Amino acid sequence: MWDDIVEVIIGNLLYIAEEYTDPLPLLVMYYGLTTVIGGLIISRRFVTLRRDPMAGSFIGFGAALLGFGIPGIYAVHQLTPEKALGLVDEASTEDVQFRFDTNVLWGMGAFGFLWILLTILAANTEPSRFLVVVSGGVYRGMLIFLVAAGLSIIFGLMDVLNFAQGSLFMVGAYVAWEVYGELGDWRETSLGLAAAFLIALIAATVVGTILGLIMEVLFIRPTYSRPFFQVVLTFGLALILREYAISRYGPAALFNVDLRFPDGSSTILTGLFPGTSIQNYWIFMSVIGFIMIFGVQYLLQNTRIGIIIRAGVQDSDMVEALGINVRLIFTLVFALGAAIAALGGAVASGFLAPNPDIGDQFLLQAIAVVIVGGLGSYSGTAVSSIVLGITGAIASHFALVEYSSDALGSTSILIILLIVLYIKPTGLFGRAH
């Protein structure tokens, strides 16, 4: 088996070297190089980006998409004024060592790994199939991310590994299903359908928030002095939620939320790209995921509560000594994490049929993403969920093609987790503490 894998990799490399006439792998390689090198250049230029593994590479990717290429990015580098360094006083330039934060290097390494995989995939598949695999991977990454986001913030700030996060995802899916079912009459018009779905999403988020508040105040707060039991406790809470779902809805999966009109004709969510094999819902899901990534990123980077959360991740005692009620912040953060997970479940219910295990399917991958991303590093979680999501999709694809086997997606993610933990026990973007 291993011989086969090594053979495939070497064969692919040789193939890329010889058959350079195929444009797709070259194009992918170009995008990859632009993303990584452009990201490095951009990060070097803007001091404020130098610690963020995500922003630089996204800008690089954006530049590549716009057709700038590396020369374009270099031009940006040359033309931007010194002020872009983010320094108030020009005289102090020598104070700042031109050294990348290791986070950015690890981030670029992760993206480099992803682009190598993509190039191999591109060299082995039809262009249309390539797009299907990649968009499926992004969708998978976003699903994982929606479970992982709350996990990451809660884990980072409060050192609580919340095993109930997957169950909150499940709760969101069921609540959305129920509410949408209640509003079945509204589905006649497209406006009513959209409103019903929106109300379902909001209801799921509200229920998730309330559940999160209850869990934090009743269960998590009394056990801060016993971290081990806290982990075990969330395990128990997950068990209760799951069993409650089974006793209420039965162990089998329900039907997913049907976003078509009652007569079966497509709405914008189900029929945006008719005729392609890319699921339209994947795109919707990915858009929601990216909105969440950047929304929470904005919350963390640019608001006062975000600053408090980031400071609390490092030293919550000191934050409290500055006159901030950290316990209240903890409760809010826990509720926020629960809300994101519930929203994720609600969004996913349009494509995945709600079932008692819907959350736990992604929980382990979400934990893998959080740990690979590094403790308390939100952008690390975002980057690694995209990278690992696409990696999982590619692994599934190759397993299907080469061995007619399935389910290797999550296995490959877990194997990557094991390797990363052996190499860097704090995760790619995490700091030892």
For another protein, the binding residues in 43-72 under the rule CB under 8 A are 47-48, 50-51
Contact partners, residue 136, CB within 8 Å, separation at least 6: 278, 279, 282, 393
Q: Is 320 in the site for another protein (CB under 8 A)?
A: yes
Query: Binding residue for another protein (CB under 8 A) from 226, 255, 262, 276?
Result: 226
Output 20 or 235, the one with its CB closest to another protein. 235
| Stretch touching another protein by CB under 8 A, among 21-29, 121-129, 258-266, 421-429 | 421-429
Contact partners, residue 230, CB within 8 Å, separation at least 6: 160, 220, 223, 224
Q: Is 127 in the site for another protein (CB under 8 A)?
A: no
| Stretch touching another protein by CB under 8 A, among 196-204, 277-285, 286-294, 304-312 | 304-312
Output 266 or 405, the one with its CB closest to another protein. 405
Q: Is 421 in the site for another protein (CB under 8 A)?
A: yes
Q: Is 231 in the site for another protein (CB under 8 A)?
A: yes
Output 205 or 230, the one with its CB closest to another protein. 230
What's the rounded Cα separation, in Å, for the pair 204 and 109?
Answer: 37
Query: Binding residue for another protein (CB under 8 A) from 5, 14, 96, 268?
Result: 96
Q: Are 118 and 34 in contact (CB under 8 A)?
A: no
Query: Binding residue for another protein (CB under 8 A) from 26, 254, 324, 332?
Result: 324
Q: Is 92 in the site for another protein (CB under 8 A)?
A: yes
Q: Is 14 in the site for another protein (CB under 8 A)?
A: no
70 alpha carbon, distance to own chain's centre: 27
Q: Is 406 in the site for another protein (CB under 8 A)?
A: yes
Q: Is 237 in the site for another protein (CB under 8 A)?
A: yes
CA-based radius of gyration for the chain:
23
35 alpha carbon, distance to own chain's centre: 19
Query: Binding residue for another protein (CB under 8 A) from 33, 246, 253, 299?
Result: 246
Size of the site for another protein (CB under 8 A): 77
Nearest approach in angstroms of CB 83 to another protein is: 11
Q: Is 157 in the site for another protein (CB under 8 A)?
A: no
Nearest approach in angstroms of CB 311 to another protein is: 4
Q: Is 401 in the site for another protein (CB under 8 A)?
A: no
What's the rounded Cα separation, in Å, for the pair 37 and 343?
Answer: 35
Q: Is 403 in the site for another protein (CB under 8 A)?
A: yes
DSSP per-residue codes, 318-345: HHHHTT--HHHHHHHHHHHHHHHHHHHH
Considering only residues 350-369, where is the footprint of another protein by CB under 8 A? 364, 367-368
Helix (H, G, I), strand (E, B) or coil at 119: helix
Q: Is 371 in the site for another protein (CB under 8 A)?
A: yes
Nearest approach in angstroms of CB 146 to another protein is: 19
3-state SS of the chain: helix, strand, coil percent to 5? 75, 0, 25
Output 264 or 323, the one with its CB closest to another protein. 323
Q: Tell me 38's DSSP state.
A: I
Nearest approach in angstroms of CB 320 to another protein is: 4
What's the rounded Cα separation, in Å, for the pair 237 and 234?
Answer: 5
Query: Binding residue for another protein (CB under 8 A) from 326, 336, 338, 390?
Result: 326
Q: Is 247 exposed, middle or buried, given 0-12, 13-18 or 19+ CB atoms closer than 10 A? A: exposed
Nearest approach in angstroms of CB 110 to another protein is: 18
Q: Are 29 and 46 in contact (CB under 8 A)?
A: no
What are the CA-CA distances from residue 392 to residues 95, 281, 414 (Å)? 43, 19, 10
**Nearest-10 crossing angle of helices 358-373, 408-423:** 30
Nearest approach in angstroms of CB 430 to another protein is: 9
- Encoding tokens for residue 295? 């929304």
Count of CB atoms within 10 A of residue 67's CB? 8
Query: Binding residue for another protein (CB under 8 A) from 186, 223, 253, 279?
Result: 223
Rounded (10°) CA dihedral 62, 66, 70, 72? -110
Output 111 or 398, the one with its CB closest to another protein. 398
Output 276 or 325, the one with its CB closest to another protein. 325
